[in-house]
Amino acid sequence: MSTQIELLEAEVKAAIGRAVKAGLLTLDTPASITLDRPKNRDHGDYATSIALALAKAAGKKPGEVAQIISRELEGAAGVLRVEIAGPGFINITLTRASQAELVLTILKQARDFGRTDALRGVRINLEFISANPTGPLHLGHTRWAAVGDALGRVLTAAGADVTREFYINDRGNQMDLFGASVEAAALGNPIPEDGYKGEYIADLAKEVVASNPAITELAQGARHEAFREAAYSLQLRDQQRVLDNFGTHFDIWFSERSLHHQGAVEHGVEKLRRQGHVFQAEGALWLRTSNFGDDKDRVLMKSDGSFTYFSSDTAYYINKRERGFDICIYMLGADHHGYVGRLKATAACTGDDPEYNIHVLIGQLVKIMEGGQEVKLSKRAGTIITLEELIEKTGVDAARYTLIRYPVDTPMVIDIDILKRNTNENPVYYVQYAHARIAAVLRNAAELNISVNLADFDPTQLTHDRENELLGALAQYPRVVASAAQMRQPHRIARYLEELAVTYHGFYADCRVLPLGQENPTPLHTARLLLCSSTKVVIANALDLLGVSAPERM
C-alpha cells in the first residue's frame, strides 16, 4: 500500500531513531521527514535536508549530523548508496529494482492509486458559483465551475466526504428587476432603468409566453410575479444544463428563499443571541463581528424590521454546520474578498473555530483576450461571454484544463484565440497525447501477444535512466494529490500532469517498448509495457481529478 517514498521516509526516520538511541545524536526524532526529488540527477534519487534542519537542535555541525544519519541509513532496504553533499544534504540512491516495484503497486490499485486518507472522515461542504438565477453563467463563474469541481474531486480523493452545493440567490430586488425585465420584453414595453438588457431576456420572454399564453392577461401584480417565477425557473434550468455539459455537478441546489421559509434566519439570529454577540443600536439589530477581527459590526435586522443579506449569510452558515459539515469551504470572486473577515467573524460568533470550520478561497478575476484585445465584460451592456460560448469555442477539456491550471489567487489572462487552436500551445493536448500514445502502444502489444501478466514483471529489467525518471515521477503522485487537497490547490494536479507527460515522452523517445520486426518478446518488453500501463493509469486518474477526459486516440 505504501509507496516507495513513504517507505524511504520511514527508513530515514528509523535511522535517526537508531542514532539517537546509540547516543550519537541528542534530539527529538522529527515527526516527519521530507524527501525531495533533486533537480540534478547527480544528487541521487532522493535528497533530504534533514541534517541541516536538525543541526542546531543536535548542537553539531550539519555535516556531522549528516554523517551520523547516513551511516545509519546505509544498508537500509532498497538503498543502494548514500552520499553527503554541500553543507549537509543527504543524497540517497535507490536500487533500480526497488523503485520498479511501484509498477505493481499502481497496477494493483488501478483507479485507487493516488487516493489517500489524509482527510478521512472529514465532512466538507464545498460551495461555489452560487450565481443569481437572473442570467446565463458567464466567465466570472467559469473559473469556479472548473476549479470548484476539480477541488471537490481532489478532496474526495484525499478521503473527505464532500458535498458540492450551489446557493441560489433567488430572493430580493435583483429577482424583481429580472422578472420585470422579462415582463417588459414580453409586453413590448421598455426595459426598466436598472433592468437586465441582454438578448437572453427577450428569448426568455418568448419562452415564458409560449408555455403560458394566458400570462399576459393576468392582473398586473399577479402577472409580474408569474413572469418572475417562470423566468426564474427557466434560467435556473439553463444554468443547470450548461454546468451539466461542463461536467460540473452539484449535490445540493440550495435556495435562499427556502432558508427564509424554514425560519432559518430567525433561528440563526437566536443562536447568535445566545452566544452573546447580538446587540440593539440605532433601532437596528447588530452582530458584534468586530470582536473577532472584522473591521466593523454588521447589521442583522434593519431598523425597518427587515433582515439584511448578511443575516441570510450567517443563517446559511449556521444551517450548514447544523447539517453536520465540519468544514465549510466558500469560493468567492475577488470582488467579494471583503466578505472574508465577516464570514470568519460570523463563524467565531457562533462559537466555531474560524481557522478550521470555515475556509474562504478568493479567486482573482479572469481577463479575456480575443483578437489581441481585452474583452470587457458587462452584464448591463450585454457584452458578457457565457460559459456556454466558451465551451463552444474551445471544448470542455481545453476550457477546464486552462482554468484549473493556475492558482486561483493569480489574476489570469485567457486568450480565446490560443484556446481555440488544437495545438500544443494548450498543454492539455500535450498531456492527453501522452495518454493516447500509451493506449496505442498497448493496442499494438495486444496484437503481438506480449505478456502483460503482473507475475511476469521483472523489476530488475528497468535500468535505463529514462525508466528511473518515469518511476520517480509516478511515485510523486499520491503526495501531489494529498498536498493539492490540503492546500486546496487543484492546479497542482495539472502541473504534475505536465511533468509526468514530459517524462513519459522522453522515455518513449529513448526506450523502445515493443519488439522490433521479427524480434521475440523479452522480459524487458514486458517490463516496459507494464511501466507504460502504470503511467497510463496515473495520467487517467489525475485527468479525472480535473474532470478532463483521457482519450484512447487522438
Set of cell numbers at residue 469: 525518471
Give the footprint of RNA on residues 116-175 (CB under 7 A): 132, 169, 171-174
Give the footprint of RNA on residues 321-340 (CB under 7 A): 334-335, 337-338, 340
Query: For RNA, what does the binding mask look like between residues 41 and 70, x meaning CB under 7 A?
Result: -xx---x-x--xx-xx-----x--------
Q: Angle CA(191)–CA(222)–CA(137) in degrees, nearest 5?
A: 50
The CA distances from residue 359 to 253, 317, 331, 353, in Å, are 20, 12, 9, 10
Least separation in angstroms between CB 512 and RNA: 4
Q: Give 297 or 458: the residue with its C-beta nearer to RNA.
A: 297
- Which stretches of 374-488 are DSSP H helices? 387-394, 396-404, 416-420, 427-448, 465-486
Q: Interacting stretch for RNA, rule CB under 7 A, among 87-95, 122-130, 213-221, 389-397?
A: 87-95
Query: For RNA, what does the binding mask look like between residues 277 and 296, x meaning CB under 7 A?
Result: ----xxxx----------x-
Q: Angle CA(528)–CA(533)–CA(538) in degrees, nearest 5?
A: 125
Answer for which of 86, 263, 293, 324 binds RNA (CB under 7 A) is: 86
191 binds RNA (CB under 7 A): no
Answer for which of 93, 109, 364, 549 binds RNA (CB under 7 A) is: 364
Least separation in angstroms between CB 270 and RNA: 19
- The whole-angstrom separation of Cα 12 and Cα 54 is 13
- Residues that contact RNA, how many (by CB under 7 A): 95
Q: Give 444 or 522: the residue with its C-beta nearer to RNA.
A: 444
How would DSSP label each residue in 44-66? -SEEE-HHHHHHHHHTS-HHHHH
Least separation in angstroms between CB 539 and RNA: 13
Q: Interacting stretch for RNA, rule CB under 7 A, among 109-117, 187-195, 457-465, 490-498?
A: 490-498
Q: Interacting stretch for RNA, rule CB under 7 A, among 151-159, 209-217, 370-378, 504-512?
A: 504-512
Nearest of 191, 170, 330 to residue 260 by alpha carbon: 170
Least separation in angstroms between CB 209 and RNA: 26
Q: Angle CA(222)–CA(225)–CA(229) in degrees, nearest 5?
A: 135
410 binds RNA (CB under 7 A): yes
479 binds RNA (CB under 7 A): yes
Q: Give 218 or 365: the residue with its C-beta nearer to RNA.
A: 365
- The whole-angstrom separation of Cα 455 and Cα 330 is 48
Least separation in angstroms between CB 498 and RNA: 6
232 binds RNA (CB under 7 A): no
511 binds RNA (CB under 7 A): yes
Q: Give 19 or 531: the residue with its C-beta nearer to RNA.
A: 531
- The whole-angstrom separation of Cα 81 and Cα 73 is 9
E strand segments, 54-120: 79-85, 89-94
The CA distances from residue 338 to 201, 298, 332, 355, in Å, are 31, 13, 10, 17
Answer for which of 29, 67, 290, 308 binds RNA (CB under 7 A) is: 308
- The whole-angstrom separation of Cα 517 and Cα 496 is 35
